[in-house]
Structure 1
Amino acid sequence: MNTFYAPLAGLIPKEFEEPIQGEYYSLVPRKWDVSFFDWAELGSKHKLHIPYTVGDMRLKGCNMELAITAESIEEAQGKILPFHVMMYARGIHPFSVQFVSNYSVNDYAGINSRKSSYGLDSLPEGLRTGITSATASVEIWGAPYTSGSSSRRGGLTRSLTPELFAQVVDDVQRWQELRDKYPVCLFLERVLTSSPVVSDTGQSILHVWTGLESIFPKVQSEVSFRLALYLAQLQAPLGDRKDFFQRAKRSYGDRSKVAHGGTIKTKAGEDSWLEAWSILTHTMCAMLQRRRVPTEEELIEELLVAADASN
């Protein structure tokens, strides 16, 4: 097995300074800067599938890397996406995967200076030992998909703790079981990673609701009411169905305004995009809790049984 590293932009490691080790995933805090001369060395002596100037630019906002254990780069790239979307399900602010490499940032930082005794003396103590162009071959591939955020959203955290990381890793295993059974989960992954990069808020909300509507493809009439009802019932294991029903109806109203060329009007302090996003991420959490994606008919039966039980 090999280890691949994906620098993550926009996140902050919290409560850990050393790598957090896991079976298939690990988190590696960034310790060192990679100079432009390091990047030039990588570009001329190593295997870069992106321009080294692009690598230099993309790495600037990265405070940590996701390390993935995999047999091949293709397998590693495939493992990044479910981890990414489970981070979103846990309330993490949209972030971006910058590229994938076979060595950590902390390994190739200082690689240019280490090729000569003069450069070696100029490095901090912690960088004086490590790989060089003579002892290792660094390979860097582009990001496996487009990700990130067009703007900062309040209410979502950028801090990643060891406890949250452990929760996400556990979620990934359950999510992979779901996506193997329900193809709609693969579509939801694409919606989650692509929606935040849509710069127009209305179009992004429309895209989020495309994902939500895909869960219930049979809904063709009374769409606002029925979608909100199904989404609320889907939430039954997690919280207040009545509140979720009202939120979903309001958000679907925003979606309809956009779809028909209207303008979303929100009160001060409200974030219509965050509301739609939250409905989607909470829906995925409900799926994880249930370990399945129930059909419309199954949700109606749940509602009827619950109504009978309350009488």
Structure 2
Amino acid sequence: MGTYYAPLAGLIPQNFSDPIQCGKYGIIPRKWDVSIFDWAELGSKHKMQFPFTAGDIRLKHCNLEISLAAESVDDARRMLFPLHVMMYAQGVHPFSVQFMSSHSINEYAGINSRKSSYTIDSLPEGLRTGISSATACVEMWEAPYTSGSVSRREGLARALTPSAFMQAVEDVERWTALRGQYPVCSFIERVLTSSPVVPDAGQSLLHIWTGLEALFPKVQSEVSFRLALYLAQMQAPLGDRQEFFQRAKRSYGDRSKVAHGGIIKAKNNQDPWMEAWTILTHTVRAILHRRSIPKEEELIQELLVAADARS
């Protein structure tokens, strides 16, 4: 069992300054800069699958990294994907995984200066002890998938709190079990990680709706009404079905407009992309809460039972 690290761009730590470990996952705030001389050392004497200049650029906007206790880097890649999606379900702003490595940023920062007694004194005290090229071999691999966001989305959290991270880790086990039972969960994962990097907001919204529609493949008629109704009923254990129904119906109208060559615009200061994204992430929360993906017939039965109970 080893530990692998994935630097994240686009998020900042909130309410913690020391690493937090939760099962096989950890979150580590970045403490030190990695100089261009450190990168040159890594590029010449260690194992990197990309140019060290690319590493320098990618790391500039990283304030956090995820650690993963795994048997191999391939195992770590598999573990990272569902955690990424569960963080989105917690309302975290879309972020990007820059690469994966065998050591933490805080370990290889200062690696060039530590190789010589003449330069080590120039380092801050906290960097004077640690790995060097003589004592460790740092390996770095390309990011396992494309992620991130092409624009800032108001209303989503760039600050990652310990509670949001720990909830995401807790949800991973439940989601992984659901993914084994419902193959559509894997498709939703891909939609969540890929749609924020689609440059055109309308096409990205259309992509989000492919994930929502995949939940109910039998719907062929009265599509707008029925999808909105089913999505709203999915939320029954969590919130206001009537409001969710109206939001989903309006968002499907945006989806149809894009699909027919139209251009979507904000209405009443509401971002259409954010509406679709929120509907999808809230649907993931509902699936987690239910521990299942109900079929259309099951949702209709729930509605009828609820109606009978009120009468």
Q: Which amino acid aligns with 2:300?
A: I
Distance, in Å, in 2 between the alignment partners of 1:250 and 1:14 is 34
Q: Which amino acid aligns with 1:234?
A: M
> Deviation per CA, 1:157-182, whole angstroms, max 9, x where unpaired?
11111111111111111111111110
Task: State the match for 2:200 in structure 1.
Answer: 200
Gaps of 5+ in 2: none
Task: State the match for 1:236 in structure 2.
Answer: 236
Task: State the match for 1:41 in structure 2.
Answer: 41
> Deviation per CA, 1:16-59, whole angstroms, max 9, x where unpaired?
11100121100111000000110010000000011111111110
Report which stretch shifted further, 190-199 or 257-266: 257-266
Distance, in Å, in 1 between the alignment partners of 2:267 and 2:242 is 22
Distance, in Å, in 1 between the alignment partners of 2:267 and 2:273 is 13
- Alpha-carbon deviation of 1:268? 4.9
Please say if 1:174 is aligned against 2:178.
no
> Deviation per CA, 1:194-234, whole angstroms, max 9, x where unpaired?
00001101000000000000000001111000000000000
Q: Is the 8 A contact 2:265 2:271 kept in 1?
A: no
Distance, in Å, in 2 between the alignment partners of 1:164 and 1:213 is 28
Paired residues for 1:125-274 under 5 Å: 125-274=125-274
Q: What is the RMSD computed on CA atoms of the aligned residues?
A: 0.7
Report which stretch shifted further, 263-272 or 17-26: 263-272
Distance, in Å, in 1 between the alignment partners of 2:147 and 2:58 is 12
Distance, in Å, in 2 between the alignment partners of 1:303 and 1:267 is 30
Distance, in Å, in 1 between the alignment partners of 2:268 and 2:113 is 53
Distance, in Å, in 2 between the alignment partners of 1:270 and 1:77 is 35
Structure 1 runs of 4+ off > 6 angstroms? none
Q: Percent identity?
A: 71
Q: Which amino acid aligns with 1:239?
A: G
Please say if 1:110 is aligned against 2:107.
no
Distance, in Å, in 2 between the alignment partners of 1:270 and 1:78 is 35
Q: Which amino acid aligns with 2:58?
A: R
TM-score by length of 2: 0.99
Distance, in Å, in 2 between the alignment partners of 1:283 and 1:299 is 14
Distance, in Å, in 1 between the alignment partners of 2:141 and 2:262 is 42
Gaps of 5+ in 1: none
Task: State the match for 2:309 in structure 1.
Answer: 309
Distance, in Å, in 2 between the alignment partners of 1:105 and 1:160 is 18
Distance, in Å, in 2 between the alignment partners of 1:57 and 1:85 is 25
Distance, in Å, in 1 between the alignment partners of 2:280 and 2:28 is 29
Distance, in Å, in 1 between the alignment partners of 2:31 and 2:264 is 44
Q: Which amino acid aligns with 1:44?
A: S
Task: State the match for 1:31 in structure 2.
Answer: 31
